[in-house]
Amino acid sequence: MTLTARVLDQMSPSVAADIARAEEQVRQAVEVAPSSLLVLAHYAKGQILRVHNRYAEAIPEYEIAIALNRNWVNALGPLAECKLYTGSVGEMIPLVERAIRLSPRDHNIAILYFRIGLAHLLQSRIDHGIVWLEKARAANAELPYVRSHLASAYALKDEIDRSATELAEARRLSLDGRYASITRLQATQYYGVPETRALYETTYFAGLRKAGMPEE
């Protein structure tokens, strides 16, 4: 779980090695876990599938984890992300709101706030998106993707100076240089089915271009 989280949060210095190690561990976990720990095994398997952009396959793993423990907060946020990338952006916010109700002081609260902000941003509710993205930044200022989405949202509101500051922070915090250009950013992350990718193009990428991110 920790290895995949490090990869998903863009904080891994050795992505391939972390993924390979996590895959072997989750294989063993699913085989030997007692019933009381199956929720963890299925959640970890969902995380591995999410690392590989196999979001449709990850959904049932998270749903099994939630069925085994309806209060298993950790699965709700990733499930929401899977819904986004498989084309169901409208299902994101209720899932994340449920997670926040269950765990209002969650150590990953910044990521939960981010997912709500992302859902609003992609649906062109920019003001709402900024509110939640700023909450995410306040909860954890070290997540580069929070800063890049704020850069986009501020630019879409013509707040170019604030946008430039956030983009600079995203670049400083990122380990792989993905925020150097639009082309590089598009190549280093999966943006979902065509319907979801179209939402990214008209909001997130449009904002980053306006913020000054070069195409190449």
Between 29 and 57, name the one with better pLDDT. 57
Range 18-39 average pLDDT = 80
Dig out the tokens for 45 from the structure: 């398997």
pLDDT in tens, 159-190: 999 999 999 999 999 988 999 999 999 998 89
Dig out the tokens for 107 from the structure: 């150590």
pLDDT in tens, 112-159: 999 999 999 999 999 999 999 999 999 999 999 999 999 999 999 999
With bands split at pLDDT 50, 70 and 90, how would you rate the model's confidence at 37?
confident
Domains of the chain as residue ranges with CATH: 1-79 (no CATH), 108-216 (1.25.40.10)
Alpha-helical regions (H) of the chain: 2-8, 15-32, 38-51, 55-68, 76-85, 92-102, 109-122, 126-139, 144-156, 160-173, 182-187, 194-200, 206-211
Q: Is the pLDDT of residue 13 over 90?
A: no
